[in-house]
Amino acid sequence: GEKVEQHESTLSVREGDSAVINCTYTDTASSYFPWYKQEAGKSLHFVIDIRSNVDRKQSQRLIVLLDKKAKRFSLHITATQPEDSAIYFCAADTGNYKYVFGAGTRLKVIA
Amino acid sequence: ETAVFQTPNYHVTQVGNEVSFNCKQTLGHDTMYWYKQDSKKLLKIMFSYNNKQLIVNETVPRRFSPQSSDKAHLNLRIKSVEPEDSAVYLCASSRQNANTEVFFGKGTRLTVV
């Protein structure tokens, strides 16, 4: 079955810098890659996604890149702010009603 | 505001007891899920239901059983809990088609003593 590896377990950046979180997946059938944010004591909140028919998507300060050949996707957060501090999860979906999540990246934005 | 509602927020129980968690979504979605998040924040799918039908049942111990009365409700029962069941159980929902955003509830934190 699908396996998703999230490469950075923790990441610290200075406010205003960019943060990059990288994930790789194993199943070439995966076609949907969402990202979720979990703030302390809260549940998961959708932030952005990308489908396999594109290789780049941007929503305000968030950019997702997808490299299907390398089976790799990444989340770029530009101009980071303290409120970006959270755990970020990547996921892959092969279209069979189950996400496979990465292990999470704890992002800390230092003011 | 519509959302995914879970009760209880917390539950502490002894080994061997039975527990039930409730989940209701008011988003009009056809698909509901249960995920388990352990103490290291690892998330794993347990069950997926589409229009009250079980469509995904991961390798979950038989003491776990989902129950769906209609497509807006998906409860989770655990018979005879064990210490390794201590975790946060997250209910979620999405529209019927796959490859779509999933909305999560706030979770039920289970502690087995």
Tens-binned pLDDT, residue by residue, of chain B (113 aa)? 559 999 999 999 999 999 999 999 999 999 999 999 999 999 999 999 888 888 877 778 999 999 999 999 999 999 999 999 999 999 999 987 667 889 999 999 999 99
Q: If you measure CA to CA, which chain B residue comes closest to A3?
A: B44
From the CB of residue A39, how many other CB atoms can be counted at a distance below 10 Å? 13
- The residue behind tokens 């990246």 is A105
Instruction: Answer whether B101 sits within 8 Å of A34, measured CB to CB.
Output: yes
Cross-chain CB nearest to A95 (options B33, B99, B107): B99
Determine the residue among A87, A97, A99 to mutate to test chain B binding: the one whose Cβ has the most chain B Cβ atoms within 10 Å.
A97
Quick one: which of B88, B84, B75, B95 has its CA closest to B35? B88
Decide if B32 contacts B48 (C-beta within 8 A). yes
Task: Return the structure tokens found at A25.
Answer: 């997946």
Angle (CA) A50-B90-B30 rounded to 5° is 65
Q: Which residues contact B100 (CB under 8 A, 6 or more apart)?
A: A32, B94
Instruction: Answer whether B99 sits within 8 Å of A104, measured CB to CB.
Output: no
Q: If you measure CA to CA, which chain A residue comes closest to B104?
A: A44
